[in-house]
Structure 1
Amino acid sequence: MLFFGVKENKFSMHKSAPFIICSFVRQFHRVAPVSVLTLFAVPAYAVTLEIPSVKDGLNLSIYGSINPNFSTESNKFSYSYGDPEIFGNKGSIADVLVNQDRKDSDEQLRLNGLDSGSINFYLRQRLTPKITANSSILIEASKSYSSNWGAYWGVGFDFGSFGEQGRLTVGSYHNGLDVSQTDLYMLNTLNDGGTNINAKYTGIPNLTLSAYHMLTQSADINNHDDYDKGWHHSDGVSAKYDFDFAPRKTLTLTGGYGRSQGDNDTLNAYNTKKADAYLLGVGFGHNDWTVGIDYGEREETYNGAITRGVDKKVYGAKVDYEFTPRLKGTLSYGHSHSKNNTPIPFARMVNFGRLEPYSGVEALFFDKVKQNRYGATLKYKLYQNITLNGSLTNLKTINHVSEGEFSRREQLTANIGASFSF
């Protein structure tokens, strides 16, 4: 059997420091594409072809998308600690001064998104009056090495007259828990993904129960690394209850828990040994307003040769407002607070000339890391298959060592673009 998925990036002692940091960066940016998350959900804009001549009840759908956008980024990094002793024998006053208020910005407006795209083939067959089989193949292509996801497949079965009793999916990448009410990746503590088997039960009115078992990532062929590591297995459960008080007045309560098991080999100091996480969500809809709130915690345990583990707490909110049926706006806020009692010695970063960890991996090198993310998005549906969008995101990061505040970073990103779907 073929397995399609994304392999979690892990690290071993024999790798060079630059390789380790580059791998960390790939791990941070490896976010499942939206189309993967909806592998079995055919959107309204899909081109549906009926094939009654093959067999009664067989439907074939084909849809795809391309998302060009213009973006600009401002990135400012400032040291607060100042004492070069934190860098060991590699640091100096000159190193501190040159990085005191450093800007790593790309403020030129750049065109992105034309070098990648996706297409999905979706087949649906009614087997009996109460069972429907679904199969899907998603193909994504990108010029970028780190985001060239390749292909995914999945086979699903819906139970009940119209699938109202539940669904079983084999081969999906997304774990199917769907707890988050804000859709902010930094708040999703249940984001472990890979080739898995997941199930949903919806036989109780307004209640959705979900569970998944992820297969070993050593079988995934979408592996950008040259060694075979990753989660050995991962399991999770979730529940969601929807209250419908009146038309366009709803309340949603969600909760989920997941546990992942990694490599126990102590020689691989950068490999996560295990992870435990939970996430709670509340959603409320009232006419044109929708509000989502998330709170979660995640504890990652490492093998202890370099660092033992990271505890993280997250919370945030998102507010959507529908100005018109075509125009929708979103405001969002996310907060992340991580704690590491045994951080990786900072001198490891300095050994290859960099005095700052890359964004997203600070929690491994600092005692405490606080992040605040502010976002605003505006979307306008120009036509059935064309959506115009613009967004502004401000991410503020504060890093702490045991003696106090060490550094600050502020990233401001602006995007304007369009989504073309068929």
Structure 2
Amino acid sequence: MTEITREERQREDQAILQQFPILDGSFTYLDNGATTQKPQCVLDAMMHYYTKENANPMRGLYDLSIKATEAYEDARETVRAFINARAHEEIVFTRNATESLNLVAYTYGRAFIKEGDEIVITIMEHHSNMLPWQQLCKEKGAKLTYILPEADGTITEEMFRSYMNPNVKLVAMTQVSNVLGVKNDIKTFARIAHENGAVFVCDGAQSVPHMKVDVQELDCDFLSFSGHKIYGPMGIGVLYGKRDLLDKMPPFLFGGEMIEYVTTEGATWNELPHKFEAGTVNDGGAVGLAAALRFVSSIGFDRIEERELHLTKMMMTEMQKLPYVHILGSTDPEKHHGIVTFTVDGVHPHDIAAIFDSHKVDIRAGHHCAQPLMKFCHTPSTVRASMGLYNTEEDVQHFLDALKKLREEMGY
């Protein structure tokens, strides 16, 4: 992409910031890996739905219910196009990425994983892409195997192949680590898994908001992501699944809407994707998510990736000059995808976050729902700064100013 001038960047920054009402300049928000702020267009879309179209969708023959149904299914089509799924039937709305992954584990896993089978994940997984497989393996008598990456989080093709064997029936892997920021080669790993006869589950919670994700190009069998991490509302998530697999899977939850016909003895299930969407759906959340995806598309991932990389380079370059600061993962900013996780000698991560908060800089401290990775990295907890498309050079400078004052304020 053509390099832009500082003046052009500042104009772009202001144009983007003006679309986020909460970002009023009173604080610096660098916790986008946990959740993102919402642009006005998302708030407007949800307000329009609740004031002009709100009704129980798919169950009423009156005009308002029909509008609600159309709004919900239009949102599904927006998601389908955004990740380039083949058909709208392959898009299931959930509460979040965690529920999406649990859905696969409880339905596909219980139906097709047997005693003696093996599931392969990485030590880098968020607990949401670890605990469902742990519990499934305990229930089924299957084996759970962890891929251990290089120190910077890299998993090579050769390394991945070494974990494949005829017993491996499922591989679950994050596309981007929520701690190290490293990107896994999902396309290559999914191909190898398929050659081995295994199904591939991709956690896209940290990738879908920051880069173009094409499920047909990746050829993953399932992909999950959350609306609140991509500038949409909380309480709405997505599970993409290949149609032939979703067809074979039993329902996850039982009740209204997911049925075709019910008798006192049993029931038959609704067609896809409604088989997996029991009860009254989060129509307003789906509308908000669709608005968020349109907003992201209007900026474009080329610009988003360039913006976030520029800020990551600026941040890491200055951090690497401080001998008491230690960045987890690669020394190369291009391998962090907007996520910079670090420790500071002699200062507990919770104290770091508290001091940053006194400087009105919001960062995250703890184990980041990745305790096995923390153990692998030989640290119980860390601090994480994570970028969003609205962050600016001024935000990074505020972060660096607070970091440089940190040890002084701790009495060092």
TM-score (norm 2): 0.25
Which structure: greater helix fraction?
A: 2
Which structure: greater strand fraction?
A: 1
Bigger relative CO (Cα 8 Å, ≥ 6 apart):
2
